[in-house]
Structure 1
Amino acid sequence: MPAYRLLKGLLLVVSAGLCLVAGCAVAQQWDDAALILRDTSGEIVRTYTRQQLRKEFTPRERNTDTPWSAGVTVGFRGPFLKDILARNSIVGGSFEIGAANNFVAKISSSEIERYAPILATEKKCTDEDRQSGACSPSQTYRLLSIDDGGPLYLIWPLHDLPPRYLPSRNAIWVWFVVSVRALS
């Protein structure tokens, strides 16, 4: 548990720092982490909180295995990445998806168009979640936690990806997403 608290604290500091860079008026709380969108020149086009992503975009549901779920299908919900990019007129031949730990994945625009990854903000509640109190008995989804790869996690349809993607392209499953930058 101490490692979890350390990572949560680090991500809170990173989110607050990103908020200052992006010109936010108030330091952000952990539950309101930021996503920064940048154009090909590196200029900030828009910053979204997780709450804004949930309110301003159509939530898409994706039930899929992940490379780390050991064959267990997990339910996620969030907007299509391509919808976020389109609404903000962000175009590029490829994109860098940045994580809070400075990890960066390069993803082509054709991959985004063809496989329609979602930027998950929520995870489907399980019986274990209901037993632990993380979800109420009638709740369907809950916000992603650090343990889930949240607060923002780029989710792909695993079984639609070409077999050559595993494990060579596992890096496209970016968790702790904090930025998207268009490349030429």
Structure 2
Amino acid sequence: MLKYRISLAASLMLLSGLTLANAADNKPNVLTIEKEAGKPIATYTVEELGKAFPSKLLETATPWTNGEKRRYRGSSLKDILAKYSSADAKIVTGVALDGFEAKLEMKEIKSYDPIIATEVDCVDSDRLAATCTKEQEFRPLTDADRGPFYVVWPYNQLPKSTNSDENYRWIWFLAALRPEK
């Protein structure tokens, strides 16, 4: 029975894009800043990221909210990269837990100042589901919200495109950032 469970778990991970080797390295509640692939220079939990960088609020729609705006709170991607002398990088690769990688252009990061969101505003449905109290303004991002780390851009400021492939820059389940010169 145990052999079957291990085989099933391995099969599910392979189907989701993970391998046994890199699944052990993925820590869903940790954001890693890398010098190059597999060479971390810093790691942050949600709490550590919030203490290390000023909190920034971004109210925006997303490609998946049908025009509805939500308020996200987190740290400026530009500020995080500046701390590690990466502001002169041309490209920053964002890596998600499932192995998805997106190459973000530094000129876009500087122009639009996206955040690494860790919280989202509480709405009526959150209060009905008891995930927020009446007094609570924000709550941590959950798996359903694409968290705990989610690259959020000011959607209405981005250049309009009919190409849905442009949505690559919204990195869900962010696990690592890797600046490239």
Report the secondary structure of 1:39's partner residue. strand
Query: 2:94·2:103 contact (CA, 8 Å) conserved in 1?
Result: yes
Report the secondary structure of 1:168's partner residue. helix
> How far apart in 2 are the matches of 1:109 and 1:135?
36
Q: 2:42 aligns with which of 39, 43, 46?
A: 46
Task: Tell me the TM-score normalised to structure 1 length.
Answer: 0.81
Q: 2:69 aligns with which of 65, 69, 73?
A: 73
What RMSD, in angstroms, separates the aligned Cα atoms of the two structures? 2.4
Q: Does 1:123 align with 2:120?
A: yes
Larger radius of gyration: 2
Report the secondary structure of 1:164's partner residue. coil
Q: Which moved more, 1:40-49 or 1:96-105?
A: 40-49
> How far apart in 2 are the matches of 1:57 and 1:15?
28
Q: Report the CA distance between 1:42 and its aligned residue.
A: 5.7
What per-residue deviation string (whole Å, max 9, x for no partner) do you get for residues 33-61 of structure 1? 11111125763211111110112211111
Number of corresponding residues: 164
Report the secondary structure of 2:164's partner residue. coil
> Within 5 Å, which residues of 2 pair with 1:29-178?
33-40=29-36, 43-91=39-87, 92-164=89-161, 167-178=164-175
Q: Report the CA distance between 1:132 and its aligned residue.
A: 1.2
Structure 1 residues 45 and 113: CA distance shift in structure 2, 3 A: same
Unaligned runs of 5+ in 2: 1-11
Query: 1:105·1:174 contact (CA, 8 Å) conserved in 2?
Result: yes
Unaligned runs of 5+ in 1: 1-5, 20-29
Give the counterpart letter for 2:170 in structure 1. Answer: W
Q: What is the aligned-residue identity percentage? A: 35
> How far apart in 2 are the matches of 1:144 and 1:15?
21
> How far apart in 2 are the matches of 1:165 and 1:178?
28
Q: Report the CA distance between 1:166 and its aligned residue.
A: 5.0
